[in-house]
């Protein structure tokens, strides 16, 4: 969750404040930059909200709060849905890999052992 929050925060920063040295990070995914750049600050704010949501979920997760587990499920579930849409739209490699990785993580989060860890603690 915290890694995702950091990456979403980086994306938000580079989309909201252009021309910083952080812009070089887009060299890792120039296609995403090409698609997101025209949307500018509008999508930058959404990435900022995503970053905050991931950070809050990470805090709740480490404190073993039920709401942290539920938020993590919602965020990873949304990722799986997005990967499925990408796969259907023809982005076979990224969509397929995303479905496998995020799906495996979601299955892990939904396992009885993990659920029991969060249901045994207070909300």
- Compare 106 and 27 and report the one with higher pLDDT: 106
The H-or-E segment that residue 19 falls in is none
Residue 78 in tokens: 């949304």
Average pLDDT, the chain: 92
Tens of pLDDT along 77-118?
A: 999 999 999 999 999 999 999 999 999 999 999 999 999 998
Continuous H helices in 63-91: 66-88
Q: What is the DSSP string of 22-75?
A: GGGGGGG-HHHHHHHGGGHHHHHHHHHHHHHHHHHHHHHHHTT-HHHHHHHHHH
pLDDT, average across residues 9-32: 90
**Confidence bin at 29 (pLDDT 50/70/90):** confident
Is the pTM here over 0.75, yes or no? yes
Q: CA-to-CA distance for 104 and 73, rounded, in angstroms?
A: 12
């Amino acid at each position: 969750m915290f890694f995702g929050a950091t990456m979403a925060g980086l994306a938000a920063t580079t989309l909201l404040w252009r021309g910083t040295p952080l812009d070089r990070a887009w060299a890792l995914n120039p296609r995403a930059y090409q698609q997101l750049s025209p949307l500018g600050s509008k999508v930058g704010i959404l990435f900022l909200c995503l970053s905050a949501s991931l950070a809050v979920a990470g805090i709740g997760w480490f404190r073993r709060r039920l709401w942290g587990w539920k938020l993590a499920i919602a965020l990873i579930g949304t990722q799986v849905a997005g990967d499925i849409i990408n796969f259907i739209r023809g982005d076979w490699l990224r969509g397929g890999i995303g479905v496998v990785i995020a799906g495996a993580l979601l299955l892990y989060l939904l396992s009885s052992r993990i659920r029991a860890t969060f249901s045994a603690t207070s909300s």
